[in-house]
Amino acid sequence: MRTAAIIGGGIAGLATAAGLTQRGWQVRVYEQAEAFSAVGAGISLWSNALRALDVLGLGAAVRGAGAQAGIGGFRDGRGNWIVRGSGDPDDVLVIHRADLLKILLDAVPADCLHVGARIDPTTFDQSERDLLLSDVDLLIGADGARSGVRQAFWPDARPLRHIGATAWRLAVSAEGIEPFVGSETWRDGRVFGAFPMGEDQIYCYAGAKAAEGVRTDELTELRWLFGAWPDPIPRILAAAEPTAVLRHDIYTLPPLRTFVRGKVALVGDAAHAMAPYLGQGGCQALEDAVSLAILAAGPDVPAALREYDAVRRPRAQRIAARSLGAVRMAHISPPPLAALRNTALRLMPASVMRRSLTRMLDSPLPAEPATAS
């Protein structure tokens, strides 16, 4: 039986573990925390991610735990629509990260999961790294944007880049706020999004230009930045609890030359940490996980890894670059330029928007091998 060690027990690591175990691999997942827990509020899963979850047999459970985001769209600072969503209202599902993580955990055999297990190859000497690799057929770095696996085995990789912005995330009870139409609002170079989430909750996120490392009373700052914005944003912030607000500076990973080195592969943020402005970070991680699992079911693991890199790296890096374009568009602050942006988007034919969305969402996953080992 072929064996894999997965460093990191987040969405990418657990989804990869589920896919590999379903295809006959013996897997060990190492998570440095003392328990598998979700850091964050909600996550948006677009149709490409839901297809990946369907391959794992988890799509129905995820859909049952989340809520459809609806047609959505973008609004200006007065609450007027810039663009209404042009896709299928079922294209996007919003789910709490903790619920998604639990579904993925339940799909991985309990004896594969190891918590409180910090394995950081950057602390190993060469002989220890060789020993680590000799013990498995595949080592997978699913250890996030600051991946130790990437740092150890990709010494030529450029460091993370702060994009000059920060993001807040929070979940709020929908009581007294619904019904409302989920949307993202742009004003004064800042962004606020709010969408229904499962179990009568609302998932919110916000973004603003900010220096790296600044921290304050986050809810107070959110109310100062966004409290006079169009409804329902003031009501949402009035109902929010200070402990629910999470803040993270935004970093991106410069493109890697490969996602694979020998028998080591990277998935998720370890491979392509991107700005969260298209809602595709987690979606691309799920595509990575399922693509790698499908390809690794074939008889030739080195060939499978080459194909994984050929399939996943160009697509993930295109979407990462596109997410940076979305950052620039959302954070336009001079009023004349913002007005020009809004007018251009309002005049854009809906067919153009649909084609753009289709290109992002409709990439197929690899086909299952005809014969698996």
Contact 195, 94 (CB under 8 A): yes
For residue 276, which amino acid is it? P
Q: List the chain residues with pLDDT less than 70.
A: 38, 71, 86-90, 371-373
In angstroms, the CA 191 to CA 50 distance is 26
Task: Write down the pLDDT at residue 373.
Answer: 43
Name the DSSP class of 40: S
Which domains are assigned to the chain? 3-161+251-361 (3.50.50.60)
Strand partners, 141: 7, 266
The phi and psi torsions of 73 (rounded to 5 degrees) equal 140, -170
Go through the chain and tell me how many residues it has: 373
In angstroms, the CA 305 to CA 261 distance is 9
In angstroms, the CA 164 to CA 153 distance is 28
Contact 21, 27 (CB under 8 A): yes
Report pTM.
0.94
Which among 148, 154, 162, 324 has a CA at the least distance from the CA of 256? Answer: 154
Name the DSSP class of 112: G
In angstroms, the CA 140 to CA 288 distance is 11
Asked whether the bond before 179 is cis by omega within 30 degrees of 0, the reply is yes
In angstroms, the CA 168 to CA 40 distance is 10
Tokens of 200: 């009568």
Name the DSSP class of 159: P
Task: Write down the pLDDT at residue 290.
Answer: 98
Tokens of 159: 């460091």
Contact 190, 226 (CB under 8 A): yes
